[in-house]
Amino acid sequence: MKKHDQDFMKRQNRLTVFEMIKNHHPISRASIAKRTGMSPTTVSRIVGELTEQGYLLNSEQVSAGLGRKSTLLGMVNASVLAVGVELDRTRMSIGVVDLQGNMVCSGKYPRVPEESAEQTLMHIGAAMEELVQQHTIDRTRIVGIGVGLPGIVDNEKGVVLFSVQLGWRNVALAEQLKELTGFEIAVDNELKVKALAEQLKGAAVGSSCTALLGFGNGVGSALILDGEIYRGVMNSAGEIGHTTVDPNGTMCECGKTGCLQTYINISSLLAEANRIRPVGTIEELFEARQAGERWAVQLIERALIYMAITINNVVCMYNPDSVILSGELIDKFPDICDEVEQLYFSRFVWEPLRASFAFRRSMLSEEGVMIGSGLLSQNRFFALA
Ligand SMILES: [Zn+2]
């Protein structure tokens, strides 16, 4: 084996052991060896290294039955911290996340939609420093910054290829933010990191195939397979918002007609509503529906039907064990989940698959992207360390 390959194997093994303890602690060395298929010697060596570096807690425990003592391993949650950032058109959210994805502290900051990428990154750097100082976070424990945003992201190079919401094209985010802050930067699509967070800490804990759907200013999805983000060749797997539903439909912001998201997302719903009467916000539209205005009832019913259709298509395509609904529409109007399930599942979700998946609302809601971005940054750190 070449030196380079050996190093790679070592890093992979280290990460595997680390993840195993993180996800299944308290756990014994023997159990790690059994579950990972690694030799007990390799496991012991890695555990020794991680303990020395302050990541692990060792505790003696007498196992039931045999009365034999075994050492169980746990995590020191605060031994590793990462900063998780969510970027949106008009807002930035920044949080400090520990090893288990717990939010240590967080803050929300406005973003001017017209500002340049450079200005946004400067603001992130300044806000992060302020947050860290305000909460007296030990800066030496921060292993990196993760950024989640809407758009197509080259996650390996850390480049935002295209984001309609941010108005960015080919922004070398990782490189620029690293220069500003000195930290290692991980960048990814927001729904991908959110799905990662839900699978580790939220509504899909224990799931081995999670599909997360986002209904908000856009429509998208993400798939987590055995704890890993499914990416496709250019990290754009899951962009279902631009699947074509009606070739004769209305124009989408992407330049095509009849994309799925034109029936569901907030701006499309508002654009349709304004053909009837002036409606400024999505809340107003839902109030009109509540008041029984027929056009509003129909417009939202159509959106819910397309949500059910989306769920059916995703379930048919991937056969997930969990489907999680998230996004601004779901956060603001949580009853949507029950309505879609009760009113439209029997009509639109294929019968043999109807009971094959758990259907839930996002548990982490507004914190999901920050937590997922922080965890992504930590994963990157452990893979490289
Ligand atoms: Zn489109």
- Which domains, from first to last, does the chain contain? 3-75 (1.10.10.10), 79-194+367-384 (3.30.420.40), 204-362 (3.30.420.40)
Output the pLDDT for position 380.
Answer: 86
Separation of 165 CA from ligand 1 center, angstroms?
13
pLDDT tier for residue 253 given thresholds of 50, 70 and 90: confident
Q: Model confidence over 199-235: pLDDT tens digits?
A: 989 999 999 999 999 999 899 999 999 989 999 999 9
Separation of 260 CA from ligand 1 center, angstroms?
7
- What mean pLDDT is predicted for residues 325-338? 96
Q: Which of 71-80, 183-192, 286-295 is the least confident region? A: 71-80
**Over 80: is that where the pLDDT of 279 sits?**
yes
- Is 33 in a helix, a strand, or coil? helix
pLDDT tier for residue 278 given thresholds of 50, 70 and 90: very high
pLDDT tier for residue 10 given thresholds of 50, 70 and 90: confident
Separation of 262 CA from ligand 1 center, angstroms?
7
Output the pLDDT for position 222.
Answer: 97
Separation of 163 CA from ligand 1 center, angstroms?
13
Separation of 277 CA from ligand 1 center, angstroms?
25
Output the pLDDT for position 8.
Answer: 81
Output the pLDDT for position 381.
Answer: 86
Separation of 263 CA from ligand 1 center, angstroms?
11
Q: Model confidence over 60-107: pLDDT tens digits?
A: 776 656 666 778 999 888 889 999 999 999 999 999 999 889 999 999
Residues 6+ apart with CB under 8 A from 133: none
**Over 80: is that where the pLDDT of 21 sits?**
yes
Separation of 242 CA from ligand 1 center, angstroms?
4
Separation of 373 CA from ligand 1 center, angstroms?
26
Output the pLDDT for position 385.
Answer: 58
Separation of 256 CA from ligand 1 center, angstroms?
5
Separation of 219 CA from ligand 1 center, angstroms?
10
Separation of 344 CA from ligand 1 center, angstroms?
24
Separation of 130 CA from ligand 1 center, angstroms?
38
Separation of 21 CA from ligand 1 center, angstroms?
42
Separation of 253 CA from ligand 1 center, angstroms?
6
Separation of 218 CA from ligand 1 center, angstroms?
9
Torsion angle, CA of 368/371/374/376, rounded to 10 degrees? -60
Separation of 264 CA from ligand 1 center, angstroms?
12
CB 308 within 8 A of CB 195: no
Separation of 265 CA from ligand 1 center, angstroms?
11
Output the pLDDT for position 291.
Answer: 97
- What mean pLDDT is predicted for residues 184-209? 95
The label of the residue with tokens 């790690």 reads: 32
| 26 prior amide bond cis, ω within 30 | yes
Separation of 336 CA from ligand 1 center, angstroms?
23
**Over 90: is that where the pLDDT of 383 sits?**
no
Separation of 134 CA from ligand 1 center, angstroms?
42
Output the pLDDT for position 365.
Answer: 85
Output the pLDDT for position 12.
Answer: 85
Residues above pLDDT 70, as percent of the chain: 97
CB 273 within 8 A of CB 299: yes
Give the length of the chain.
385
CB 128 within 8 A of CB 87: no
Q: Which of 6-20, 101-115, 135-149, 198-212 is the least confident region? A: 6-20
Q: Model confidence over 347-356: pLDDT tens digits?
A: 999 999 999 9
CB 369 within 8 A of CB 190: yes
Closest listed residue to residue 340, CA positions, set 352, 355, 325: 325
Q: Which of 11-25, 66-80, 103-117, 233-247 is the least confident region? A: 66-80
The label of the residue with tokens 């509540």 reads: 290
Average pLDDT, rounded, for the chain? 93
Rounded Cα–Cα distance for residues 103 and 91 (Å) = 19
